[in-house]
Chain A
Amino acid sequence: MTEKRTDFKMLKPSRPVGIIGYGAYVPRYRLPAKEVSRIWRGGSGGEPIKEKSVPGIDEDVVTMSVEAGRNALARAGIQPEEIRAVWVGSESHPYAVKPTSTIVAEALGVTPYTQAGDFEFACKAGTEAMAAAMGLVGSSMGDYALAVGMDTAQAKPGDALEYTAAAGGAAMLIGPAEDALAEIEGALSFVTDTPDFWRRENQKYPEHGGRFTGQPAYFKHITGSVSRLLEELDRKPEDYAAVVFHQPNSKFPRRAARELGFTSQQLETGLLSPRIGNTYSGSAMIGLTAVLDRAQPGELILMASFGSGAGSDAISFLVTDRIIARRGRALSTEDYISRRTEIDYAQYVRIRGKIALK
């Protein structure tokens, strides 16, 4: 038997790439966690977050991706027809069969000469699309590729996930590093077959392994991707101005940061879950947009997603001086988060389609 290889290196294309435009989207409705607790636990017990974002009755992953994509295009300042790929990562694509990405590409004006496709990998479908975009641009097959991570997450009424399953996400326009507002230094993924959370075909709500979603799933994979990427880049946690992790609640990312040697100051700017919940495929990416909204040229940012099933993509960014001119060209992530209408549980079950009308 031959020895198993362990010398794989991080992803770093021969042509340097980076983010040339980014865009966030968060719907305006908020369901306070205490509302879920009021209905299902008589108001007793702790709550994992303050409130979560809820999509309006006329919103889905298509409409939300279109708005985030428009924001990314506005910041990048390129023409939509220059984009050579539109890839949308989600676990709540509106159709089981028919791509979200063609509708998004049509609405953004990217069609017809483009790649288009939908990605799925629980909560890391969006960052997987980013890795693919790095490959497309990095190989010079195209100059620009749009990677979206967006979800309107489902949760069984009364389940622990109902407190946090939220809606929102971000779009990242990947292009050549010489035009980037944040250059990508390298990316590394850590993937195993770990059954912590899943949803079978035709099922409305996902199943999960309770406490099994923690140590063997979230923590093992994020720690695996981040520690190896830092090693490859010869970096230490303190070199980074900010770090963003996938955010299923408030507690997990805080613990992951602590275990990896990051401080709460490094984590705080991108930690949005207490105020918008877990946006699944959008979670790490929208955290990154909040960090980019405040980043200074020369700063380093580390992002690590986590997708159940399971895997984590870690990406290291170096912010350039182009961030200053570009970030004001679209609404900031904070603009969306502070645009807020609180709803109660009855309104929530109505707009999420949980009432049978026929």
Chain B
Amino acid sequence: MDIPRHWRLNKQRYALTGEVCPHCQAKIFPPRDVCPECGGEAKTEFGFSGKGEIYSYTNIYNAPEGYEENIPYTVALVKLEEGPMITAQLTDLGDQPLEIGMPVEMITRKIRSDGDERGLLIYGYKFRPLVSA
């Protein structure tokens, strides 16, 4: 049971809430309270737009524990519009071929169950190809 470990991360996982540095304006994700750019204290909350592009990606056929039900799936490095690069699963790919530089958007999805089917459901960010109107 890892309840507190997951619960502490709700905000960043559900809505991509990070931080902005009050000294150099760098946008920070995941939040770490110290700016990786200038080293200053950075505790101001910042909501990321969720828009970004694929920097690189790989397909997973042998999943780590807890993710077996989802195979095959794709994990990508996503370069967020505001700067930071994050690792996340891609989802809802349909039959569109993936490309480096492809625009993606954040959505909140079920990541896994903590333990078996009796465990906590863990939700968090994934990315999908940008759905255009």
- What is A's interface to B at a CB cutoff of 8 Å? 28, 56-60, 62-63, 66-67, 94-95, 103, 106-109, 328, 331-332, 335-336, 339, 341, 357
Instruction: Given the known inter-chain contacts A58-B126, A107-B14, A332-B133, please indicate yes or no for A63 contacting B108, CB distance below 8 A.
Output: yes
Flag if B15 contacts A335 (CB, 8 Å): no
Question: CB < 8 Å: which of A59, A107, A108 contacts B110?
Answer: A59
Q: Is B32 in the interface zone, CB < 8 Å from A?
A: no
The one of A58, A62, A107, A331 that contacts B131, using a Cβ cutoff of 8 Å: A331
Say yes or no: A56 contacts B123, CB within 8 Å: no
Q: Does B65 contact A (CB under 8 A)?
A: no
* Binary A-proximity of B6-32 (CB < 8 A = 1, otherwise 0): 000011001100000000000000000
Task: Report how far A56 CA is from B111 CA in the complex, Å.
Answer: 12
Contact with A along B27-50 (1 / 0, CB 8 A): 000000000000000000001000
Can you report 22 residue pairs joining A to B where beta carbons are below 8 Å apart?
A: A28-B94, A56-B91, A57-B70, A58-B109, A58-B110, A59-B109, A62-B123, A63-B110, A66-B108, A67-B107, A67-B108, A94-B110, A106-B11, A107-B108, A109-B47, A331-B131, A331-B133, A332-B133, A335-B132, A336-B131, A339-B94, A341-B94
Does B2 reach chain A (CB closer than 8 Å)? no
In the complex, the chain A residue whose C-beta lies closest to that of B116 is: A358
B123–A335 contact, CB under 8 A?
A: no
Given A63-B123, A106-B11, A328-B133, A58 contacting B94 (CB threshold 8 A):
no
B121 within 8 A of A: yes
Cα(A323)–Cα(B126), bound, Å: 31
Q: A336 to chain B: which residues have CB within 8 Å?
A: 131
Please give, as numbers and ranges, the residues of chain B lying within 8 Å of A341 by CB-CB distance.
94-95
Given the complex of chains A and B, what is the CA–CA distance between A296 and B81 in angstroms?
Answer: 36
Contact A106 B121 (CB under 8 A): no
Do B14 and A58 touch across chains, with their CB atoms under 8 A apart?
no
Alpha-carbon separation in the docked complex, A28 to B126 (Å)? 15
Closest to A330 in B: B133
Chain B residues in 8 Å Cβ range of A357: 68-69
What 1/0 flags go to B69-80 for Cβ under 8 Å of A?
110000000000
Q: Which of B111, B132, B133 contacts A58 (CB 8 A)?
A: B111
Q: Residue of B at shortest CB range from A355? A: B69
Chain A contacts of B133 at CB under 8 A?
328, 331-332, 335
Bound together, the chains give a CA A341 to CA B129 distance in angstroms of 14
Q: Tell me the complex Cα distance, A24–B95, Å.
A: 23
B109's contact among A63, A331, A339, by CB below 8 Å, is which? A63
Q: Is the CB of A63 within 8 A of B107?
A: yes
Nearest 7 A-B pairs (CB), nearest first? A107-B14, A58-B109, A341-B94, A58-B110, A66-B108, A63-B109, A107-B108
Determine the residue in chain A with the shortest Cβ distance to B129: A339
Q: Cβ of B109: which chain A residues have Cβ within 8 Å of it?
A: 56, 58-59, 63
Q: Which residues of B contact A57 (CB under 8 A)?
A: 69-70
CB distance from A149 to the nearest CB of B (A): 19
**Complex Cα distance A95/B133, Å?**
33
Q: Which of A95, A328, A332 sits near B121, CB closer than 8 Å?
A: A95
**Chain A residues closer than 8 Å to B94, beta-carbon distance:** 28, 339, 341
Q: Which residues of B sit under 8 angstroms from A63, Cβ to Cβ?
A: 107-110, 123
Task: Report how far A94 CA is from B92 CA in the complex, Å.
Answer: 20
B15, A339: Cβ atoms closer than 8 Å: no
> Which of A28, A60, A107 has the most B CB atoms < 10 Å from its CB?
A107
What mask results when residues 86 to 129 of chain B are scored 1 for a CB within 8 Å of chain A, else 0? 00010110110000000000011111000000000101001000
